[in-house]
Amino acid sequence: MRRVRYESTGGPLFLEETEVPEPGPGELLVRCEAVGVTLPVVRKVTEAAEPIPLGGEIAGEVVAVGEGVGRFRAGDRVTGLVFGHGYADFALLREAMASPVPDVASAVDAVALVRSGLVALGALEAARPEPGEAALITAAASGVGHLAVQLARTRGAGRVVGAVSDPGKGDFVRSLGADEVIGYGDESWGEPVDYVLDAVGGELLTPAVAALAPGGRLVAYSSGGGTVRAYDLLVGAKSVIGFQMARIARGKPELYERWRRELWRLFAEGALNPVVHGEFALEDAAKAHAVIESRGNLGKVVLRL
């Protein structure tokens, strides 16, 4: 089978031929049809001290199952998060991380919706939104952000503001249901909001906190780091909440599954539309990474096998 890997930090991605893996206990062997490309994986390629397997979201057909697997069998269509090699014709997926793909959805729909949607929905839940409140979503055109904009609207947000790195993304974000679009470098971020879902971090945390109304909440789910001054929180009785999807997946599997079902329900009802920026062949994985690195994507970037 074909598999993408690299040999040194920041080194080029290349295809290699290798053996199809055997599923171990609790694992599914999936013939991959689509693979989602994410910023955390792209960052690891350029920043990790040693090469790592290129994992992430996959969707495809189960071709074999390991010992102890009870929920799935060969022929089932599944999606889930792979921690080993995922940029490949076949990948090993833990049963606990797998969910069925309904007949109404394609493999591309699945990788564009489920993992990114879970992060967006989880961050939104962490913000404890009330109907009529104003929301601000950073990285609003990204794979997660474009779903967060839509989910905020489904949860009754009275005003949704999308923040983007490039003003050229404004029309796309408005098409998702945002009332306003701002640029990261804008002098004013407009009227205060009740909560911010931040996927950027770093220097953007300061203006994001400043954009909060008194009592507002910022949910930080970025791997970009950054600091917040305690004084900036005290002045308006504001709060910062950290959100990590892995903690939910490991510690609250029932909640994780409920969120997955909600995403598919909203998708089936037409209330949630995952947008794919582009589909790249497996051998073009480097081009897909370049789109993410340049922050040029409008929606999800997908490898199509």
Closest Cα partner for 44 from 203, 223, 299?
Answer: 223
Asked if residue 296 is part of any domain, the answer here is yes
* Percentage of the chain lying above the pLDDT 90 cut: 87
Q: Partners of 245 in the beta sheet?
A: none
Q: Which residues contact 181 (CB under 8 A, 6 or more apart)?
A: 140, 161, 162, 163, 164, 167, 169, 170, 173, 174
89 inside domain: yes
- Here the tokens at position 61 are 């057909």
The verdict on residue 265 lying in a domain is no
User: d(Cα 296, Cα 147) in Å, to the nearest integer?
Assistant: 17
In a domain, 68, yes or no: yes
Q: Is residue 257 part of a domain?
A: no
Looking at residue 304, its pLDDT comes to: 97
pLDDT band at 58, cuts 50/70/90? very high
The model's pLDDT over 69-121, given as tens digits with 9 standing for 90+, comes to 999 999 999 999 999 999 999 999 999 889 999 998 999 999 999 999 999 99
Give the ranges where the chain is alpha helix by DSSP (H): 39-47, 107-126, 145-154, 170-175, 205-210, 230-235, 245-251, 253-268, 285-293
How far apart are alpha carbons 192 and 187 in whole angstroms? 14
For β-strands 134-138 and 159-164, DSSP reports them as parallel
How confident is the model over 294-303, as a mean pLDDT? 94
Residue 185's CATH number: 3.40.50.720
Structure confidence at residue 250 as a pLDDT band (50, 70, 90): confident
Asked which of 204, 225, 245 is the last residue of a domain, the reply is 245
User: Do both 166 and 79 map to the same domain?
Assistant: no
pLDDT band at 30 (very low <50, low <70, confident <90, very high): very high
User: CATH no. for residue 42?
Assistant: 3.90.180.10
122 and 181 share one domain: yes
Choose one of 229, 245, 261: the last residue of a domain: 245
**Given 245, 267, 290, which residue is the final one in a domain?**
245
Q: pLDDT confidence of 175, banded at 50, 70, 90?
A: very high
In the chain, the number of structural domains is 2
The pLDDT > 70 percentage for the chain reads: 100
* 132-149 residue pLDDT tens: 999 999 999 999 999 999
> With 80 as the cut, is the pLDDT of residue 224 above it?
no
pLDDT top residue among 238 and 250 = 238
Domain that holds residue 23: 2-101+275-304
Is 266 part of a structural domain of the chain? no
Mean pLDDT of 164-177: 96
**Residue 245 — pLDDT band, cuts 50, 70, 90?**
confident
Q: Do 133 and 176 reside in the same domain of the chain?
A: yes
| Banded pLDDT at 40 (limits 50, 70, 90) | confident
Whether the predicted pLDDT of 226 surpasses 90: no
Claim to verify: residue 72 and residue 136 sit in the same structural domain: no
Q: Are residues 88 and 173 in the same domain?
A: no
Question: What is the rounded average pLDDT of the residues 245-266?
Answer: 90
pLDDT higher than 90, residue 49 = no
Give the pLDDT of residue 136: 98
Q: What is the reported pTM? A: 0.92
Domain check: are 87 and 123 in the same one? no
138 and 225 housed in the same domain: yes
Q: Please give the average per-residue pLDDT across 160-184, as a whole number.
A: 97
For residues 96 and 139, state if they share a domain.
Answer: no
Q: What is the DSSP string of 254-279?
A: HHHHHHHHHHHHHHHTTS----EEEE
Q: Is residue 174 part of a domain?
A: yes
Same domain membership, residue 12 and residue 131: no
Same domain, 231 and 143: yes
**Mean model confidence pLDDT for the chain:** 95
Residues 123, 93 share a domain:
no
Q: Is residue 252 part of a domain?
A: no
pLDDT value at 223 more than 80: no
My answer on whether 85 and 164 are in the same domain is no
